[in-house]
Amino acid sequence: MSLNSHDLSSNNLAELVQLCLLFIQKGKNLRGKWLSLFPMIFSELGKQNRVPLDSDSMTGAEYCGGVISSLCDTEIAVEDAVAFTAVLRELRIPGTIVHKFVLKLCAIIPDMEPQEVPPFVYQLLFLCYQSDHLIPLEHLAKYFEMKLTRYGQSTNLSSRGESMEIDCDIETGSPKEILQAKATSIFHISRAAATGHPLGKEFVKFLRSRVDVPELVLVPFILEVALSLGALPQLRDIIGLLRKLVQRLLRSNERLRHSAWMRELMLGKQIDVQKMFNTIMLQGTSEGDNIVKGFELLAFDLLEIRNAGGFGRPSIAGPNLGNASSSSGTTSGTVPEQCWHIGAHILLQMIRKFPDSAPLIVKKLAERLQDVSNDSQYITTISLMVQHNPLSMLECKVSFTMLLYSMEYRGLVSAKRLYTGISPLFRSSGALRDSAFLVLRKLLHSCLEEVRQVAVVGFLEILKNFRFYVPTIGSSLSQTSISSQATVDVHHTQTSNSNRAFCSELLKLLQCALSQQASVRLTLYQNLPEVVSRNPELLPECIKMLRCHLKFFIDPEAVVQVDMCITKDGHNSHVIEPLGHLIQAIHQSILRSGKTNYFAKEDIDPKSEDQVDLGVLLIRKVVTKMAESSVDDYVVGDVQELSAQLKIQTLSSVCIALADFCLAENATTNVIAAKRLVSLYEMQTRFDSLLSEVGKGKGKGKAPKRTKKGKENPIDESPITDDTPKAPMKIFEKCTPSLQSISAFIGFLKDSNQTIANEKEILAFFKPQIGLRLWFAQSAFSKYQAFCNSKDIEGLSPESVTKFSGTIARALLLHCQNTRQVADDRSSAMYCTALNCLHEIILGFCKHNPTKLGRLLTAMDQVERPAAGIPLENQIAKTLKHFKDLLNHLLSGRENEDLVTKAVLPIVGTLIVLSDQLDPAGAEYTELFDWTHNLCKNVECRESSIAKPLINLLAHLSMASESSPSILEELAKEVRLAIGALDEENSSTTESNKLATVNEDTAVVVLTVLTARLEQLIQVVEWALPRIGILERGDASPLVEQSINTRLKLIAVALNQLVLADISPGPNSELILKLAISFYTTMGRVAKKQKSVLPSFRTLVRTTAGLTKNLSTFIAHLDDKQIHEKGFKRKKGDKEVAPRMDRCARSIPQLTYAIEQYNQAILGVSKRTKEDLSFGSKLGTTRDFRIKADKVNEALEGNAHSTESESESEDEEMEATNSVNRTAQTDSRVRGTARRSRGRGRGKFTSVGKANTSQK
């Protein structure tokens, strides 16, 4: 029949088609060979010119159209869906009918079994070739989400680590079957796109249209399809779009916590994209899967993001990928750092699931490390892989060897991080260790100082991972609580003797570094204590090496030979030995090793063979000698010379290192040691005062005064010559007290439980030493400032940092609570430094150690061992109470205004940081907001630096806790009342300020805070605009449009209050104009999205119409004030120059344009909806060149009073000019052709130039 179908008559063809249609309508019979014949018969019937019916006839195409309509109305059973779709794909169906078929077939998907879905998808893709490409994807996403949610697999798929191979036994309806059906369906979609199906291009368009709404795309099935398609070479744009989607989602999650309205729009949901990626990765079936390939491309794309300084905070040394909890916005760091975290963990999951992929991935990471300078994310990724999957990394020796040989071209920081990351592999790979050893020996003898520093860092990192002796039971393993990492026994492949020989060779090489430049030695001194903390058995050898070197700079009488630390070469001087760091390295190595019993020995035999004892004895002698000496005992020369200044810096650094040693030893238990500590501090202060006097021009000679800009120097010499050098060049930073010493000293001063008589005496001795206490507090403040930026303090572990920080924070908080009526400047400085240090401590823990925040806060409450199960919010509430009490005391009027001005800012900053850790919908957050609101109502302050942080805190809490922050409208009204209204006659005189903090003295700074918060609200509106009409919301939730209109009305009302205020031209008016520009620009975009006029939108447009009218009055007010205050000209010397262009002159045209665009958008809405939305407003007119009639009349009246004699002389001159012009016109008629032949411009300008020359 198939061969002779063209020979059949139209009647026969129609009968066969009707017979097939009858089978299809009956259902459950869509099997047999007739199915393959139906499309062929149907096609032949469509070619017929005439098909007879009972009483009429029609063409074959019309008859086939009727058959298609019958098929469209046919109910299809689930069992017949695949066969029915296979029949339809062979028929010629119009596009409009295809759409109906696709919707009809997709409606069957929810009733299908998982094993029926893949063949159905395969057939459906053929049917959707011409149109409706993405409709099946939407229904499939809902189907698999529903199925997996039913089994509790939507968030924790394959959590039991079960295999997803196809050969596994599968139960019907099990999660495995569902996941296999999903994988097969995605495979069919990917293959269709690879063979040219329009689905691929349409999917790219779909992603581009949803970039601003990432929560609609980042759902598991759509994300898997995107990854699978992105792996295809022709659709690599999808990977870039996925990267943008991840970035937008992370930005949204960052804002989500600080905006109650955003949480309302998102229905309280926050997408954890890292968790979603991990779930999808666990479902991967094979290494060659397109989804896995797409993951790899996306991971490297995320790692390539640059951390530009535009995200609100400077970039740091490297992202904390290992300690980040998730990438849903709760991790610390900027958006690029969170993207690096996601990319690194994707690659880590790939290596865990497919170990064979490790060499290729590490090779690509190594290649990127060679090509880019921004390498912190790649180094951290490699470190994560080595830490979590070292066995797979051992297969990547070639790539790691290539990295080792490129160390010469890396900076010190980058090389140190890379060695730290890969050094654990040296324990298991002898070849890799030997390569590193050879490279480092070569680098140690390089001609570049920085390269030699890299070599020292590399040797030290290797030493961290190799024990010097065999560890014994009860050894110092329990004493390394302050080490950077837990001590690890590393005798897997190496014996103790070979380890000892290897470490001895490394120490000999490091001893060679002591003959290098000061920067190379400094690198050794700063990093050696951390190595000893990891490998305490190295302590005697390290102390021996450092002690022997120290003896060169200490004479037999324990006097510091400072001249040997500085070298002078002509007019240049530089440091050759950072002596303070050398001394600090010795006692810090002993301290960090955990063997503190050496400090407790009172009498040490000088002939002892214990190298540690000899090192402690040498430093004790130096401490005793220097504490008994004075500044005059050290000959430094003329302080105006650079060499003398470097000597003073070195001596000051030595004093700090020795003071640190006193605290590490027994300065808090021994009176003599305490007095030595004070003596060393006073000497260090004297040395610093000498350096400060140099900068002020004191001493034997003064630097000549610099001439003012624009005036020549009367003497033909530079203001600063070789004889009068500049301030000292700091080749190295001075020593600072260690965090452990700071903790011991500050904690001792505030400990009220001293029972020993010596401790009480020492406490009484230290109490009057305000300068010493202030110095330690400032040192702590500097360390925690660095901690906030680099999340590292002296290489200490998080546990040690938490322990010491808790002691410091508790002592500083007690000091602030007990301090009342601050009298002198030093007490005021101590009080403010304590508050600033507390702020930096809490901020650093919230950013880098959020899991340790609860322990820190309990330590601040003087609770050594907190009870288990205490919620973090309860601990935060207790700490908030402490800071609220401090703020109440400062604002009570009992302290001087200067102190309050400096102390309010860190307190309010701490309140904001802690409030961000609370639930904005919780009771503690509401209580904090009410307290802040009452504080602003009742406390009247005239200092703007006090009012600004208070108002900022109030607005911050309001926006985070209230969906519609009405406090912004209240603040706008308060600003208008404080400044005064433009129209005082029509303004209400009964209104008064409700917030005492807002007054005529503080209104300007409140205006700054208010405009910034309103701009932030406009940004949230811009974020919500793309979600109009596409978000699925429940019936009880407000519509997105109504929500946007409500917030825009709030902004319009607040802005209306501001433009009614009597504000002069300047920066404040510029803020208002820029805010108005942003508002009208957003309003224009909102208007363009309106398909129907909602009541809330009508109210918004009416409010905006009133705002537009008041803005015109405000702009006219600014023009009049500018003319009245500045005049038309200003004098500068003997000349009159034009007035400077005011900034408002640039903003007003932009505002006018924005208003006009908004009016055009409103007119468009009126035309579409046939509703009048003008409300009496008119289209904006361009004010750039507006002619003012009153000014023109004044000019005309001035011209009318000119003298008659001048008029007559002008008439004579005019007559002479007219006669000359008539002669010139006659000549031009004669020579017109010749002039035009010269061309445009050239001949004309040449003749003018010659004429000018002749006139000269």
C-alpha 119/C-alpha 184 separation (Å) is 9
pLDDT band at 1250 (very low <50, low <70, confident <90, very high): very low
Give residue 546's pLDDT: 93
Q: What percent of the chain has pLDDT over 70?
A: 77
Lowest-pLDDT range of 446-450, 700-704, 950-954: 700-704
Give residue 912's pLDDT: 94
C-alpha 759/C-alpha 425 separation (Å) is 49
pLDDT band at 1142 (very low <50, low <70, confident <90, very high): low
CB of 305 closer than 8 Å to CB of 283? no
Structure tokens at 1045: 């209109």
The residues facing 573 across adjacent strands are 568
Q: H or E stretch including 624?
A: helix 611-628
Give residue 753's pLDDT: 58
- Select from 199, 196, 200 the least CA-distant residue to 132: 199
pLDDT band at 1196 (very low <50, low <70, confident <90, very high): low
Q: What is the pLDDT of residues 527-572, one digit of tens each?
A: 999 999 988 888 999 999 999 999 999 998 889 998 888 888 777 8
What does the pLDDT average to over 958-966?
87
Number of neighbours of residue 535 by Cβ within 10 angstroms? 26
Burial class, 336, CB count within 10 angstroms (exposed 0-12 / middle 13-18 / buried 19+): buried
What does the pLDDT average to over 324-347?
71
C-alpha 1214/C-alpha 484 separation (Å) is 95
Q: What is the pLDDT of residues 1040-1054, one digit of tens each?
A: 888 899 999 999 999
Residue type at 459 in one-letter notation: F
Q: What is the mean pLDDT of the chain?
A: 79
CB of 907 closer than 8 Å to CB of 950? no
Give residue 690's pLDDT: 86
315-330 burial code (b ≥16 CB/10 A, e <16) = bbebbbbeebebbbbe
Measured between alpha carbons, how far is residue 1049 from residues 155, 963, 968, 1046 in Å? 40, 14, 12, 5
C-alpha 334/C-alpha 305 separation (Å) is 12
Q: How far is CA 1256 from the centre of its chain?
A: 66
The single-letter DSSP state of residue 706 is P
Give residue 795's pLDDT: 85
CB of 739 closer than 8 Å to CB of 801? yes
What does the pLDDT average to over 222-246?
93
Give residue 70's pLDDT: 83
Render 26-91 in DSSP notation, one character per residue.
Answer: H-S---STHHHHHHHHHHHHHH-S-EE-SS-EE-HHHHHHHHHHHHHT----GGGHHHHHHHHTTS
pLDDT band at 406 (very low <50, low <70, confident <90, very high): confident
Cα torsion 836, 842, 844, 845 to 10°: value is: 160
Give residue 331's pLDDT: 43
Lowest-pLDDT range of 254-263, 791-800, 1206-1215: 1206-1215
Render 418-448 in DSSP notation, one character per residue.
Answer: HHHHHGGGGGT-HHHHHHHHHHHHHHHT-SS
Q: What is the pLDDT of residues 115-174, one digit of tens each?
A: 999 999 999 998 888 888 889 999 999 999 888 887 765 444 444 344 434 344 444 567
CB of 673 closer than 8 Å to CB of 667? yes
Render 457-510 in DSSP notation, one character per residue.
Answer: HHHHHHHTTS-SS---TTSGGGG-TTSSS------SSS-HHHHHHHHHHHHHHH
pLDDT band at 479 (very low <50, low <70, confident <90, very high): very low
